[in-house]
Amino acid sequence: MMNSEQHWPDSMTFWQDKRVIVTGGAGFLGSFVVDKLTERGAVEIVVPRTADYDLTQLEAVKQLFRDTSRKGQPVDTIIHLAARVGGIGANRANPATFFYDNLMMGAQLMHESYLRGVPKFVAIGTVCAYPKFAPVPFKEDDLWNGYPEETNAPYGLAKKMMLVQSQTYRQQYGYNSIFLLPVNLYGPGDNFDLETSHVIPALIRKCVEAQERGDDHIVAWGDGSPTREFLYAADAAEGILLAAERYNESLPVNIGSAFEISIKELLETIVELTGFKGEIRWDTSKPNGQPRRKLDTSRAKELFGFESQTSFAEGLQRTIDWYRGQGKPRFLQQPCGN
């Protein structure tokens, strides 16, 4: 199973004759994937929009394949990024919606890809699929050793079903699909909507807006003790494309930075970088989420040569600068990730 670097295809050559569907390609991570596919010379990149294709509906999935077929031939690769996503609050308020939408999108897309002969399916899972108390750093072999953290378990389990589907379809049909597990992402273009955003954009927005209003404090959820690993979105996109080019098995693979930081230290860093001078008040009536989250990223390096390139300090500063410059988010996560 182990690849050697000399056998890996050249990225530019690999994509030059490829037609690719990127679900969620108009979203946060998807925009970076589409940009990198364009740089690599992909001949056609299809980004289905929710208004045209509700991917939770089977007929819409079938219509997408009909619309993108050329002379009876399907696209060469599907990169499935589309998801209904959100932070702890959104997951707690809409557990059934998060479960159903993510389950139906993934299962139907992969099944139709198999039926129609799409040569490769790249399924994007989530670090939320890991057990709440998985040994740190999280190793892919520990994925099934416990139940996920309760606040986002429905979402994490729905996405993890694509791993089961990938492995069973490879076993029974010989279908070439892969399953990747990105850690928490951040970067320019992130979703800064406080109702649905993840922790970094939420904290950046709180600090910037509090500074602009002259507030004397901000409120953060929990007690700041949980730790998280974060990956710059452009690096994640590179990892996904390297896997698409070089990896052809159904073992799950982590995509991360191997850098761990506590939420308390994260917020203190954002406070310093944004220049907010007020007090941090922790609302301990709110949930902390999973206690620790850090990935073992050795499998990605071994199997397709991926290592993150952007330091956390550099990526965080770019994200803050982008948010200040934009004034509002450019890519909002909508249903189906578009």
Tell me the C-alpha distance between 121 and 204, whole Å: 35
3-state SS string for the chain: CCCCHHHCCCHHHHHCCCEEEEECCCCHHHHHHHHHHHHHCCCEEECCCCCCCCCCCHHHHHHHHHHHCECCECCCEEEECCCCCCCHHHHHHCHHHHHHHHHHHHHHHHHHHHHHCCCEEEEECCHHHCECCCCCCECHHHCCCCCECHHHHHHHHHHHHHHHHHHHHHHHHCCCEEEEEECEEECCCCCCCCCCCCHHHHHHHHHHHHHHHCCCEEEEECCCCCEEEEEEHHHHHHHHHHHHHHCCCCCCEEECCCCEEEHHHHHHHHHHHHCCCCEEEEECCCCCCCCCCCECCHHHHHHHCCCCCCCHHHHHHHHHHHHHHHCCCCCCCCHHHC
Phi, psi angles (nearest 5°) of residue 13:
-65, -40
Residues designated as active site? 155
Give the N- to C-terminal CA distance of the chain in Å, as an integer. Answer: 35
What is the β-pairing status of strands 227-232 and 260-262?
A: antiparallel
